[in-house]
Amino acid sequence: MRFSRVRKSAEIAFRNVRRRRRVMRSMPCRSQSIGNPSSPRGFTLIELLVVITIIAVLVGLLTAAAQATRQRMRELQIRNDISQLSTSVQSWKTKHEMPYLPSRIVLREDGMYGTHATSAVATLEAQSIPVLKRIFPRLDTPQLAAARGNNPPFLGHDWNQDGVITAGDNGAFVLEGDQCLVFFLGGAQVNGATVGFSTNKAYPMSATGQREPPVFEFPTSRLQFVAHPQSATSPLFPNGAPFLSFMDANRDRPYLYFSARQGNDYTSDCPSSQQWTGVGTPVIPYSEATVARFINRDGFQIICAGADRTFGTGGTWDAATGAPYVNNTNSPGRDDFANFHPLRLGAGQ
């Protein structure tokens, strides 16, 4: 509406300028009265300034409109991504007949889970191996190999697909939720792409033989290695485990993922080590404002940073009002999107 009014004003201004020129041309020119013909009169400086100003205003409005359109397209892409990821997580759950895929796990190449020198990681290793055995029921382990007299021997699992089975703690990779989302939905990662898991049930990371198709086809252009700071439960890789994350429509922030793989047990999978909250604290799952429980307490949360490219810190959130973000226009979480709300998290209902 505002653009239409400005355009109409511009058209009126141009018509007035043309009308004035016609009037000026119809008036006798002093130079012509003494026999000296002159060329047609041009725009005056004021007329040119008026036209330039109008054009500048129109360009500014067009630029603002184009930016708004691009932002709306990004938001539509984000909502579509979240919807497709949510559907794929549900499909994965149905396929494996188990709770939702984990949002933190250790992948250890030598299979010696629970032996890490750092006690926090050793605990997470011990929690991880039962989950992996449910996902891959015939997964080979050193214990199974020993039970059969090491015939055949345990070969190890090349989880990061670098062609080497790394023994010891250096071969134990701690994956965060954004990395788990890509790994379990996409499968093995080769040359920056997800190619699915091997049909070899004992060795799902085998580089030979056939592969199962990925549950979700991640576009390679939006897969990146994301820096994860060191933490008490992820001390091995200052830049994060060498596993891919799926970036949002702006391609500079990953989709965060939290799951309740053991009912209401979000706490075993958080916090995410992402430090993009603007306050130097990790992102944690969102909880209901009226009841002390996690949102989607038996499901999962997928969160995307908004236009400010900064995540909210998570925690208590009121779906009806958007609190705590609704009254805080500077809060980084105000413009975030998530699978548990159709609008921005600060918009309320």
State the Cα–Cα distance between residues 273 and 106, nearest whole angstrom. Answer: 15
Q: What is the pLDDT of residue 5?
A: 53
202 and 121 share a domain?
A: yes
- Asked, for residue 85, whether it belongs to a domain, the answer is no
Range of the domain at 314: 248-349
253 and 332 share a domain?
A: yes
182 and 106 share a domain?
A: yes
264 and 196 share a domain?
A: no
> Please, are residues 107 and 172 in contact by the beta-carbon 8 Å criterion?
yes
Residue 212 tokens read as 């199962």
- Residue that terminates a domain, selected from 212, 245, 278: 245
220 and 256 share a domain?
A: no
Residue 98 tokens read as 């188990």
- Asked, for residue 259, whether it belongs to a domain, the answer is yes
Backbone Cα Rg of the chain: 30
- Asked, for residue 37, whether it belongs to a domain, the answer is no
Q: What is the pLDDT of residue 201?
A: 94
Q: What is the pLDDT of residue 223?
A: 96
Under DSSP, is residue 193 helix (H, G, I), strand (E, B) or coil? strand
240 and 260 share a domain?
A: no
- Residue that terminates a domain, selected from 204, 219, 245: 245
Q: What is the pLDDT of residue 32?
A: 47
220 Cβ contact list (under 8 Å, min separation 6): 192, 193
Under DSSP, is residue 286 helix (H, G, I), strand (E, B) or coil? strand
Q: What is the pTM (predicted TM-score) of this model?
A: 0.78
- Residue that terminates a domain, selected from 196, 229, 245: 245
- Asked, for residue 229, whether it belongs to a domain, the answer is yes
285 and 326 share a domain?
A: yes
Q: What is the pLDDT of residue 131?
A: 93
- Asked, for residue 331, whether it belongs to a domain, the answer is yes
264 and 307 share a domain?
A: yes
221 and 258 share a domain?
A: no
Q: How high is the mean pLDDT in each 10-residue block of the chain (349 residues)?
A: 52 59 53 50 75 85 76 88 97 92 93 93 92 96 96 96 94 91 97 96 94 96 82 49 87 88 62 69 84 87 89 84 64 88 80
- Asked, for residue 232, whether it belongs to a domain, the answer is yes
108 and 229 share a domain?
A: yes
Residue recorded with tokens 């891919």: 244
State the Cα–Cα distance between residues 161 and 164, nearest whole angstrom. Answer: 8
Task: Name the pairing type of β-strands 300-304 and 256-259.
Answer: antiparallel
- Asked, for residue 318, whether it belongs to a domain, the answer is yes
119 and 223 share a domain?
A: yes
State the Cα–Cα distance between residues 56 and 10, nearest whole angstrom. Answer: 11
301 and 173 share a domain?
A: no
Peptide bond into 324 cis (omega under 30): yes
Summarised one tens digit per residue, pLDDT across range 288-321 is: 888 778 899 889 999 999 888 888 888 888 887 7
Provide the domain count of the chain.
3
What value, to the nearest 5°, has the Cα angle with vertex 256 and ends 254 and 257? 140
- Asked, for residue 87, whether it belongs to a domain, the answer is no
Q: How many residues are present in the chain?
A: 349
